[in-house]
Structure 1
């Protein structure tokens, strides 16, 4: 590692700059990057998926930790810098060029996902990792950098302003927490908002519930979150009858229902 030049030198040499169109913000603080890489636990010999490595700041930290890293990068400008890292850590880094929402990384579980996600696709990728009927997932943990506002939505409790569909999808069969907050000044260029790293691990999946049904219920309920449930759910067949059978007042609004109540509602509609 001592032979590697500073990240700023790498970026200058390759003429790289953070692309606003790609939602990029680079991190240069090696100690901060090492702290992020340590959040999932010991990574020596573990498989790690990294999305949007850019010039490879977090990638360096993951490689230093001994991880076997698969990195997906769609910005071709960054590929030469990542190729240099692959040479410096023989056999530890595989780089896939492409859009992480479309390409197949080819990993079989368990693997950890660790990423400073591009802001413009972060939420979509996160929902994708949380979705699907198969559970537990192939990933062993998710350690992801988000805008602080998004991170707060992921861990929000019922009744709070931040509580919504993202909180339910994140909490019904996994454990989510904010592992650390990151000041905007740590990035180049500094974003307009604060950031936070969210750490998620799978939990037991409740019996008798379809993930797709829960997604449909939360989409309908929070799609019109200011309306009473009798209005927001009336287009979902059987939903109003399920509310009655569960003793959930149809005059309530979506943000007042707990995760457990949403799970119960989805279970009743799954049967």
Structure 2
């Protein structure tokens, strides 16, 4: 792997959020955490020099589609396609602009060491389409991973927690120290397994939940009566049976679900 990095001039770029995981034992473990990949079409975002890609190709996955913005990494990963028997496709593109479900047929999984600088917006975009995926196995900075999986009443619980847990069962399955990466980041990383719930919100309802959670957590110290004033305030909370004096971090995901459905049935007059 270090030879691949050298030949392709693949020094990690901070602007691209690159930290390469080269340890085959760790990449193999990430793939195992995704479950049995037999017959699955896997999408990898940000393959870099191809460490995780190699482990994916060693699995029984039906195909691997790697999306990479960095042309240097595209060249490095494309070398693997020559011996992959047609199972690997490399696409040079910005993952934020790609419609993943349009790339491969179901059953689909996303397995990726995400670029740190776009990890959260990527996740929110995929949550909007959660019904299209069987599972997502994703690496984040540990702090972000803990926010995604945080329970109500904790300092880490916030908008990302609600959106992820509303759509998926989310749990941390691995923690990885900085020394495992080249170059080592300043923080630990963690891998999350996200399994979409059988029933998913319609796009319009998801959009309302985005607005609701943005308002609720936008000023965490405010009581909900003030934080949600623009969405109906006390009247909205009363209809949902939620005390106006509570703060956003005390609401469960089920309470946010109740609140957003009331909001959808009776949107505020503007």
TM-score, length-scaled by structure 2:
0.92
Confirm or deny that 1:174 pairs with 2:171. Answer: no
* 8 A Cα contact 2:27 2:52, kept in partner: yes
Q: Shift in Å at residue 206 of structure 1? A: 7.1
Paired residues in the alignment total 261
Gaps of 5+ in 2: 266-270
Q: Which structure has greater helix proportion?
A: 2
Secondary structure of 1:210's aligned partner: helix
Where do 4+ consecutive residues of structure 1 move more than 6 Å?
A: 206-209
Q: Relative to 1, partners in 2 of residues 1:230 and 1:39: Cα closer, same or farther, differing over 3 Å?
A: same
For 1:206-250, what per-residue CA distance to the aligned partner results, in whole angstroms no more than 9, with x for missing partners?
7899222222111110111111111110011x3421211233111
Give the one of 111, 124, 134 matched to 1:127: 124
Q: Shift in Å at residue 66 of structure 1? A: 2.7
Secondary structure of 2:16's aligned partner: coil
Gaps of 5+ in 1: 1-6
d(CA) in 2 for partners of 1:22 and 1:80?
A: 16
Report what 1:225 is aligned to. 220
Q: Shift in Å at residue 175 of structure 1? A: 0.2
Q: Relative to 1, partners in 2 of residues 1:104 and 1:242: Cα closer, same or farther, differing over 3 Å?
A: closer
Give the one of 198, 213, 216 matched to 2:208: 213
Report what 1:75 is aligned to. 70
Give the one of 38, 42, 45 matched to 2:36: 42
* 8 A Cα contact 1:210 1:266, kept in partner: yes
Report what 1:98 is aligned to. 93
d(CA) in 2 for partners of 1:207 and 1:85?
A: 38
Report what 2:149 is aligned to. 155
Q: Shift in Å at residue 101 of structure 1? A: 0.6
* 8 A Cα contact 2:142 2:190, kept in partner: yes
Report what 2:181 is aligned to. 187
Secondary structure of 2:255's aligned partner: helix
Confirm or deny that 1:146 pairs with 2:143. Answer: no
d(CA) in 1 for partners of 2:98 and 2:208?
A: 26
For 1:91-138, what per-residue CA distance to the aligned partner results, in whole angstroms no more than 9, with x for missing partners?
110000010011344223320000000000011000111125xxx611
d(CA) in 1 for partners of 2:213 and 2:6?
A: 46
Give the one of 230, 233, 238 matched to 1:235: 230
* 8 A Cα contact 1:172 1:205, kept in partner: no
